[in-house]
Structure 1
Amino acid sequence: MDLWWVFWLAVIFLAPLILMGISTTFKFHFKVVCYCILCLILSALAAPVCLVKNGGRTVDNMRIIRAFVRTMKYFFGLRFEVKGLENFQVDGPCVIISNHQSILDMMGLMEILPDRCVQIAKKELMFAGSVGLITYLGGVIYINRKRTSDAKSIMALVARAMTDDNLKVWIYPEGTRNNTGDLLPFKKGAFHLALQAQVPIIPVVYSSFTSFYDRRKNLFTGGTIKVEILPKIDIADLKEEEISELTEECFHTMRKVYFRLSGKPLPAGGQGVSNK
């Protein structure tokens, strides 16, 4: 009997395990690929559930997506310690801002995502296969970061949708992923949106991932992520000219919490406001 297929099947399954034990670079990239594949699989499984239950694109699908994504932490050995969930108990819409570190942020977001909350994401995400489909079904708001005029008009529509549909909107004010061990300067878009919609801002801070996920060191292991949801910031009396000051204040407050949660001393400096 020809058993060569058994041999090659064993090679296919065993080779990655052997290489992971030999090469940290291979282990890192293999786990990243597995993460992306799992995202695609779970998105493909969640999409028909969303369509059957809710019929199409709606923020209500985020409950289903959240349930699927929450299973991912078990595959990658991640734990979450969450403090301040009661601060999400606000009447009406709000803008939620948080630091943005890596592809793992999706797990952190879905671990605490409140009901009727959508994210603002780059337009390219729409074309990411089943992940793009599930973000569309979940009501994610897409913007073209290369066209500032489009972003501004979309923000105006978002402000109206927040009040009309009672939506919470999640934004990363750093504007891009940042796994350097500090926060990038905050852009002002989230704060302009809160002012335009006349809704409070709720800051959320995740501890540093660098002890278990660091692209520069080809590190991807299990670990604990500490999350703290800070009290809401009421902007009812805020004036347009005070947005820069509020952005700066939020940056420094969240930066202090970030280093405290990460168990690291707060370094001096750190500029908080981008011109955008």
Structure 2
Amino acid sequence: MTKTTRKTETASRLMTLLARPQTPALAAGAIIFLILFRRSSRFRFFARMFGFIFTMAISCIVGITVAPIMWLLGKPGLTNYVVARTFALIGPPFCGLKFKVEGKEHIKNNSMPAVFVCNHQSSLDLLAMGAILPKNVVVMGKKSIKYVPLLGWFMALGNNVFIDRKNRGHALETMAKVAVYLKEHKYGLWLFPEGTRSHQTDDSLLPFKKGAFHLAVQGQIPVIPIVFSTYYPCYHQKNQIFEAGVVTIKVLPPIPTTGLETGDVDDLLAKTRDIMAEALKGIKTKPTGSVLPPITADSAKKLE
């Protein structure tokens, strides 16, 4: 086929496409979308939130599909890793966020077993996790997540752990079993010791719950702290803000628990929280799109 013939065929296909009745409507829709996206911060918020939910749903479907295969191959610990990498690949272009990882040498695959503790800001933490989650790591979440369509289904199939916070006895029993499982299979456990989303606009942490540290001491498993830089000024759900930016993820050196006993849990918790709080002050999310005004005492109150 000559170059002239190829050009003629390309031109013919283009003319056929332009002749379709739906083409003008699609073109007009695309133009309107671009104008609104450029001029309206609220429109960008909803567009990017849709992109986040859409790509998370796709990632969960991948997990639901992959999980049975991984079980058959005897590698169930890879399910979360595959989902994390899928989300990290397709999520950022839709959400406008990129991730810079510091201290990645502390999270090598041969560091298992380990208890990974991380600050919990919002649902965007799932996207940040996608950029860092190593192989053979399970995630601990509250029992109600199990019933969330797609996300809960994938997490259940991915061998993740659900805790019933209302039943303390059952929660402690689950923690003890998980500690044994992590050591036997050389797995890692990822959880958020704050226990709930902080929606923070400053470099602060909520009080930590003891569960992760009881588990680490019980299993003599090292604790690896991880901090995500505060998403504001790029993201704030209440004020419908979602701008492009670069989030910094910092992995801190492991904290050994060898020789520690139950009486040392409070000190371990305090030490870990202090280290994470200090690290959080040293990293920032850098906007690459619209820049919001800096947080002041008065403006912070309005965002609460």
Q: Confirm or deny a common fold (TM above 0.5).
A: yes
1:163 lines up with 2:183 in the alignment: yes
TM-score, normalisation: structure 1: 0.84
The equivalent residue for 2:77 is 59
In 1, distance between residues paired with 2:43 and 2:205? 28
- In structure 2, the residue matched to 1:127 is 147
Task: Please tell me the root mean square deviation across aligned C-alpha atoms, in Å.
Answer: 2.6
Aligned counterpart, 1:76: 95
2:132 aligned to which of 112, 116, 122: 112
Distance apart, 1:161 and its partner CA: 0.8
1:67-99 deviations in whole A, cap 9, x for unaligned?
211111222222211111111245441111111
| Partner Cα distance (1:146, 1:8) in 2 | 53
Report the CA distance between 1:8 and its aligned residue: 7.1
Structure 1 counterpart of 2:226: 204
The range that moved more, 189-198 or 56-65, is 56-65
Rounded Cα–Cα distance in structure 2 between residues aligned with 1:48 and 1:80: 27
Moved more, 214-223 or 169-178: 214-223
The CA deviation at 1:45 is 3.5
1:159 deviates by: 0.9
Choose from 44, 53, 56 the match for 1:39: 56
Q: What's the CA shift for 1:15?
A: 6.3
Normalising by structure 2, we get a TM-score of 0.77
1:148 is aligned to 168
Distance 2:255 2:41 in 1: 43
Alpha-carbon distance change, 129 to 10 in structure 1, aligned in 2, over 3 angstroms: farther
Quote the Cα distance in structure 2 between the aligned partners of 1:223 and 1:183.
22
Q: Which amino acid aligns with 2:139?
A: Q
For 1:120 and 1:229, the matched residues in 2 are separated by 19
Alignment check: 8 A CA contact 2:235 2:241 kept: yes
Whether the 8 Å contact between 1:40 and 1:129 is mirrored in structure 2 is no
Matched residue SS, 1:129: coil
Q: Give distance in 1, aligned partners of 2:266 and 2:121.
A: 23
* Greater displacement, 239-248 / 48-57: 48-57
Counterpart selection for 2:245 from 223, 226, 244 = 223
Kindly provide the CA deviation profile for residues 44-65 of structure 1, in whole angstroms up to 9, marking residues without a partner as x: 2342233335439922212321
Give secondary structure in 1 for the equivalent of 2:176.
helix
Aligned length: 262
Q: What letter matches 1:82 in structure 2?
A: V
* CA 25–91 in structure 1, closer or farther in 2 if over 3 Å, else same: closer
1:87 aligns with 2:106: yes
Task: Decide whether the 8 Å contact of 2:118 with 2:193 is kept in 1.
Answer: yes
* Structure 1 unaligned regions, length at least 5: 264-276
Contact 1:65–1:138 under 8 Å retained in 2: no
What is aligned with 2:12?
A: none
Q: Name the CA shift for 1:92/1:10 in 2 (closer, same or farther; >3 Å).
A: closer
**What amino acid is the match of 1:80?**
F
Cα distance in structure 2, aligned partners of 1:256 and 1:178: 17
Q: What amino acid maps onto 1:81 in structure 2? A: K
> What is the CA distance between 1:26 and its match in structure 2?
4.4
Q: Post-superposition shift, 1:107?
A: 1.4
**Shift of residue 234, structure 1, vs aligned partner:** 0.9
Question: Hey, what does 1:232 align to over in structure 2?
Answer: 254
SS at match of 2:254: coil
In structure 2, the partner of 1:272 is none
Evaluate the alpha carbon distance shift between residue 262 and residue 5 of structure 1 in structure 2; reply closer, same or farther with a 3 A threshold: closer
What secondary structure does 1:100 align onto? coil
CA distance in 2: counterparts of 1:126 and 1:159, whole angstroms: 21
The separation in 2 between residues aligned to 1:41 and 1:116, in whole angstroms, is 21
- CA distance in structure 1 between the partners assigned to 2:206 and 2:138 by the alignment: 23
Are 2:207 and 1:185 aligned?
Answer: yes
1:228–1:7 distance in 2 versus 1, CA, 3 Å: same
What's the counterpart of residue 266 of structure 1? none
Consecutive unaligned residues of structure 2, counting only runs of 5 or more, are 1-19, 286-304
For residue 182 of structure 2, what is the amino acid of its counterpart?
M
More off after superposition, 115-124 vs 88-97: 88-97
Greater Rg, structure 1 or structure 2?
2
Q: What CA distance in whole angstroms lies between the structure 2 residues aligned with 1:199 and 1:92?
A: 9
